[in-house]
Amino acid sequence: MRWYAGVARRTRVSPPHRSGVPAKLGGVLRYDGLMMGPVSLGVTALILYAAAEAFSIMHLRSNEPAQGSTATVFLLVGFLVHLVALQSGALAAKSVPYGDLSASMSFFAWMVAATYGILLLRHREGSTGPFLIPISILFLGASLLTHQEHVAVANPKLSGPLFAFHVTMAILGYAALSLSFVLAQLYLIQNRQLRRRNLGLLFSRLPALDVLSRLHRTSVAIGVTALTVASVLGLIWAKQHWGTYWDPKVLFTFLIIAIYLITLFPGKIGWGGKRVAFLSMVGFMLLMFSYTIVNLFITQEHVFR
């Protein structure tokens, strides 16, 4: 439990002026004399997400509407608390939270919750919650574990609204496509259960294949749009600062976008169902490749420092 002790220590001990949060924010969020810094807010959001997950698992088992609504409320409150946490972190760093890996993971987790919220609103289908909310929990948790006491000073070169939007959109794209990765797997699971006549509780509670397709489609649409906007903004920024459009990452991103576009319009090539789900997973593998290997070894411009 070392990490936990670490988190707790930081939350309790660090005096407001050292946690790097401006005093005016401290005034707003003072609670029983205890300063709610980004970390304690983050921990609160994490607990709320965990509660949302617990209730959505219960809902999956029991099919009780009240439990589904409770899960949604916990998720919403968690989402808002998380927003405040990000906000206070951002105020401290005076920029969108992408300055370091920890902050960007938290931002990613928030975007995942946001995309899941959009899916819930659009399709009124909460039974995928137990499989999607954990992504937020995982990344917010990882962010809190790797949290650095001192705030990384934003590189003056990497600032300005254009760059901030580029990063924000890219993170939203990654978040939405991560959800579609899980949804594609759920599609394949449901497809397999139908074929093997393995009709257990999971079968009866997971949505129908066409619903999973629609959920997948919406999240891919969000992801592709965000990724495209991010690429365009990135290209404009690169032209301004480097004088060239060229970055090997561009190539990969366009390939990824092309693959996901096929999953949005599979009928054009006579594909559907299972193949689309597989293709979506291939797209995600490439995305992960681009995020890790390409960033680390091929181009030096996308490394978090």
- What is the binding site for other proteins (CB under 8 A)? 62-64, 190, 194-195, 197, 199, 201, 203-204, 206-211, 266-267, 270-276
Please answer whether residues 99 and 93 qualify as being in contact, where contact means their C-beta atoms are separated by less than 8 angstroms.
yes
Closest approach, Cβ 176 to other proteins, in A, equals 22
> Which two tokens mark 25?
């924010």
Closer residue to other proteins in complex, CB, 80/199 = 199
Would you state the structure tokens that stand for residue 72, as one six-digit string? 């949604």
- Whether the Cβ atoms of residue 70 and residue 129 lie closer than 8 Å to each other: no
- The H-assigned helical ranges of 206-303 are 209-242, 248-264, 274-289
Nearer residue to other proteins within complex by CB, 201 or 258: 201
What would the two tokens of residue 61 be? Answer: 């088992």
> Which one, 2 or 195, has the nearer CB to other proteins?
195
DSSP string, 193-208: HHHHT---HHHHHSPP
Nearer to other proteins, 59 or 82 (CB): 59
Nearer to other proteins, 33 or 267 (CB): 267
Closest CA to 183 of 120, 240, 110: 120
Checking 197-202 for CB contacts under 8 A at 24+ apart, the result is 201/61
Closest to other proteins by CB, 62 vs 292, is 62
State in angstroms the smallest separation of the CB of 114 from other proteins: 25
List the structure tokens of 36. Answer: 């709610």
29 — phi, psi (to 5°)? -105, 15
Least distance (Å) between residue 156 CB and other proteins: 51
Helices and strands, counts by H and E, the chain: 11, 2
Count of CA atoms in the C-beta half-sphere (13 A) of 7: 19
Q: How far is the CB of 64 from other proteins (least distance, A)?
A: 5
d(CA 260, CA 216): 11
| Nearest residue (CB) to other proteins, 63 versus 292 | 63
* Residues 6+ away with beta carbon under 8 Å from 261: 224
In degrees and rounded to multiples of 5, residue 63 shows phi and psi of 65, 20
Q: How far apart are CA 182 and CA 171, in angstroms?
A: 17
* Nearest residue (CB) to other proteins, 62 versus 300: 62
